[in-house]
Amino acid sequence: MPYPLDRRGFLRTAGAGAAALGLGGALASCGSDEPSTTTLTWWDYFTLDNFQPGMTRLIKDVEAGVPDVRIERRTFPFAELERQITLGAISGDLPDIAIVDNVAMNSLGGSDLLADLTDRVEEWGQADRYYKGPWDGCQVDGRTLGIPNQSNCLALYCNTRLLRDAGVAPPTTWDELAAAAERLTGKDRYGLALSAIKTEEGVFQFLPFLWQAGGDLDTFATDGVTALTFLDELITKGSLSESCVGWTQQDVNTRFLDQRAAMQINGPWQIPALKEAAFDWSVVALPRDKEAATCLGGENWVLMASSEKLDKAWEVLEYTQRPSVLVPYLVSFGNLPARKDRADRGTWASDPALRLFISQLPLARPRQYGEHYADASQAVSEAEQAVLTGSASPAAAARTAAGKIDKALGG
């Protein structure tokens, strides 16, 4: 997920003019096509200016390396892409290739819109080179419906000086996290900052607590109580601001940068801004309870089942996974490779913070719950909001949410 205003928030707002009309420029070869050239339409939601150099290079690499192919690119705001694909099923206006949020696999995967790549992947023979979480996020009902594009996950950032001055070591368990957050809280500073906003962004940050408690969505009535209670107690003790119910992940990072929070839960997309910080910081794995867990974010490549050019489109997907193509692309976007065999290349091979995030990818879980996941996610978000604002107890909120989740997931 989510790297909202960090990334996602901008994607929802930036480019909402021309891009919202589907006018993201086509990045393609100039001049008329040769008779043998195959033109592939390509949709994505990377509308911000800082993404364009990397995307331009990627498409140029593809057009130079894949014989007789031309890419016609169209961009949409983040919140619009999935809807446009769904509408395209009616209008017939669909791309050959798309880069979609990995959570979109829940809804798109059950719609028959995506091409089944199972046989192609088996022949390709590279499935075992991906981390389990990103690869599992492309599997729907036993079929491979995509290829991981890029990945990210969550970890805990710490203000090195503040922890040192307080005599606090980076926490590794929930108990240590609660104790550290309480000790680090001061007059103008909270010990911990996280996002609990009423969107998928907040759910992205909440689910690791549910999983760390040893639960999942199908045990929300019990394990959801544990996770909600832990966060509620942080607010009761003053270690976490109740305002977190309105914070995006970018808001969280801003508070950490301003040293109004000694620790924050966030993703690797914040590292470029943090490199400009006026203080030293470190990043460690999310503290665990019964088990260790983090949440998988990022995108997947998909092909449309309606495309008449699937062979050439698949050839493009294969080509994008070559080291000489994939590594520069990922570096330009500031994201992590979903492939284990690319982990020793690029900036993430030498940067300690990025190495930490890479080490967590094997633990990163996809939000792969089926086509009605959005309803379940909303129930989780409502429960967290109710508890953290004091309008419901953890037990009551979890019980209410569990009923909605079970209905959404067919339980």
pTM greater than 0.85 (yes/no): yes
Query: Which of 364, 325, 367, 368 has its CA nearest to residue 151?
Result: 364
pLDDT for res 189: 97
Q: What is the pLDDT of residue 10?
A: 37
Each residue of 51-85: pLDDT tens digit? 999 999 999 999 999 999 999 999 999 889 999 99
- Burial group, residue 176, by CB count within 10 angstroms (0-12, 13-18, 19+): middle
Pairing of strands 97-101, 261-266: unpaired
Q: Supply the pLDDT for residue 79.
A: 85
CA angle at 300 for the pair 67 and 362, rounded to the nearest 5°: 120
**Strand ranges (DSSP E) for 27-86?**
38-44, 69-75
Q: Which regions of the chain are under pLDDT 70?
A: 1-35, 411
Question: Is the separation of the CB atoms in 174 and 356 below 8 Å?
Answer: no
- Give the separation between CA 223 and CA 280, rounded to whole angstroms: 36
Residues 6+ apart with CB under 8 A from 175: none
282: tokens are 């470190």
The strands making up 155-159's β-sheet, listed across from edge to edge, are 190-193, 261-266, 155-159, 281-284
What's the pLDDT at 64? 97
Q: What is the pLDDT of residue 411?
A: 60
Question: What's 336's DSSP letter?
Answer: B
Q: How far is the C-alpha of 294 from the C-alpha of 297, rounded, in Å?
A: 10
- By C-alpha distance, which of 26, 94, 27, 117 is closest to 64? 27
Residue 6 has what pLDDT?
Answer: 42
281-284 vs 139-140, strand pairing mode: unpaired
